[in-house]
Amino acid sequence: MNSVLILFQDIRLPSSRIRMLNLIPVLNSMGLNITVEQYPVSLKKKLDLYRILHRFDAVVLQKKLLSFPDFKLLRMFSKRIVYDFDDAVYIRDDQATEPVSRTRLARFSRTVANADLVVAGTPFLADEAAKFAKNISIVPSAVEVTGIPVKNWQTANERFVIGWVGSGGNLRYLENLAEPLRKLAGEYPLELRVISNKPAYMEGVPVVNIQWSLEGQAQEIARFDAGLMPLPKTHWSQGKCSYKALQYMAAGVPVVATDWGYNRQVIREGETGLLAEDDMQYYRKIRLLIESPELAKSMGDAGRRLVEREYSIEVVGELLARSLTDLLQK
């Protein structure tokens, strides 16, 4: 049995859980012997790590971009290195006044150029890696589908519930929809339900804040009547893996998302969700779901079927396992 060490950043980070830790049972079932370690901070623990790398047939570095000395030692003591990423890690995020980062780009290019396999979350990210790397697999981010709560259309909410889930740092994306949401709130009985680690406020819109928890988020999402995924049209957001949209779809909730990046692949317009270019389109498409409950249910059901086929932990875990196995057989 091939042994694989997964080095993750922090169990509290969504990327560590979504991209690797959630997939471990599937990887093990596919004949891989998986060990996980959090990448160490102290020099002593790093040296302890480097001493055991030779025991593994491959080492997966999840998203973290190492300094030149750290990566050189990782490369030196590892039989094979796999680098996995699901964001445009080679630039700063879209809050930065200057997105270009020479340090990030240098670390990224060195990492992917010297990895035996690069695993990218989207075709866009794969194209960025291909500027420096040769062996690339596209493995989307996976969502839990089996055993999660699913939208019950037989039980109607008193008010139409428009939902959003995400970290407090990304509330700014939701706030960009204040105008269309205010207009809708003036015309229909609705509420904006926000699942986050920080509260949201929006003048003229009834907001219900729900504290995010890993255990409770799925149940809360299943109570939405529609889920939102607004994005700015930036290079950083173009690298996103549409995880928020996939969460809604897994719960059978119809999605309205910005027509940008990977959203265009996940959401099939009018079938598994709706895409919006601007405030007016967001207004019209949310209104369509409010006024057409049968259409909303149809899109929610179709979205869940799509996620079951292409984005479930079981499907994506097998895809990653095949990529790793192919590498190990070379």
CATH number of 2-142+312-328: 3.40.50.2000
How would you classify residue 191: left for phi > 0, otherwise alpha for psi between -120 and 50, otherwise beta? beta
Q: Which residues pair with 276 in a beta bridge?
A: 258
pTM for this predicted structure: 0.95
Q: What token pair was written down for 87?
A: 């964001």
Structure tokens at 35: 């060990």
| Among candidate residues 79, 83, 46, 45, the one with its CA nearest the CA of residue 64 | 83
The series of mean pLDDT values per 10 residues for the chain, 330 residues long, is: 94 93 98 97 95 98 97 98 97 75 95 98 98 97 97 92 96 97 98 98 98 95 98 94 98 98 97 98 98 97 98 98 96
CA separation for the pair 24, 8 (Å, rounded): 12
Q: What is the pLDDT of residue 97?
A: 63
Name the β-bridge partners of 228.
Answer: 256
Domains 2-142+312-328 and 160-310 share a fold: yes
What pLDDT does 1 receive? Answer: 81
Q: What is the pLDDT of residue 123?
A: 98
Quote the CA–CA distance of 227 and 248 in Å, as a whole number.
6
In the prediction, which pLDDT does 99 show? 80
**Tens of pLDDT along 211-222?**
999 999 999 999
The answer to whether 321 and 30 have CB atoms below 8 angstroms apart is yes
- What is d(CA 106, CA 312) in angstroms, rounded to the nearest whole number? 34
- Give the model confidence (pLDDT) of 131-149 as tens digits: 999 999 999 999 999 999 9
**Domain boundaries defined on the chain:** 2-142+312-328, 160-310
Instruction: Please tell us whether the domain made up of 160-310 is placed in CATH 3.40.50.2000.
Output: yes
